[in-house]
Copies of this chain bind each other. A is one copy, B any other.
Amino acid sequence: MADTLPTSRVGTPDIYQDLRQRLTMGGFAPGQKLLPGPLKDEYGCSANTIREVLLRLSAAGLAQYEDQRGFRAQAASAQRKSDLTKFRILLEQEGATASIRRGGIEWEAQLTAAHHKLSHIEAEIDRRGMEPPVVRLWCTAEWEFHDALGAACGSPFLRQTFRAIFDQFRQQHVTEAGKYGFATGNVAEHRRIVDAALDRDEAACRAQIHAHLERNLLPDS
């Protein structure tokens, strides 16, 4: 007969994705404990399933795991953010320059499309401020833009590492003053990155990526 249970019952992808989003969008305070007990009730599953999800999230760097001491949301610190930024700049520059060398017309199209979508949403935010429904749109749009930059780099490893770093980078920002890492200068900076990329100017593209992110670096670096 037809199943009476509304639960999806296919692996644990829903729980993983939901917790990942909560971790990267401020659902938990930086050092907060992630208790399997309450979470299992919330998601209507066993503590072991929660544990499995948290284990994968800690492998992705979004949570911390200490043996016999459970899970915590990743801690936030200026040093961590700076290191994250430094590494992100490196990966994004490499991905962009490789894409400039290897990418064709379809890459340009994808990049232009992603930038168009992003700038539209950012204009909306400039007008009406950051409201929760728009913020989620902005998050995916900004990811898609920065992902499109390196989409033609030809290295799956570079891209998957960049994705992991990007998520952690955002996680560090979400905790700050509810700004979600959005600044008013972003619109112009994104445009300058796209222009340099479409001009196939590797050096300029590198410089613009650095300029876009350098405000997150500590002075010493």
- Residues of chain A having any CB pair with chain B under 8 Å: 10-11, 13, 48, 51-52, 55-56, 59-60, 67-68, 83-84, 86-87, 90, 94, 154-158, 161, 165, 221
Contact = CB atoms under 8 A, between A and B. Distances in A.
Contacts of A84: 157
Q: Is the interface of A mostly helix, strand, loop or mixed?
A: helix
A208 to B, nearest CB: 20
Q: How many copies does the complex hold?
A: 2
Contacts of A68: 10-11
B48 A155 contact: no
5 contacts: A11-B68, A48-B48, A83-B155, A84-B157, A90-B94
Contact of A157 (B10, B83, B156): B83
A56 B58 CA distance: 9
A156 B56 contact: no
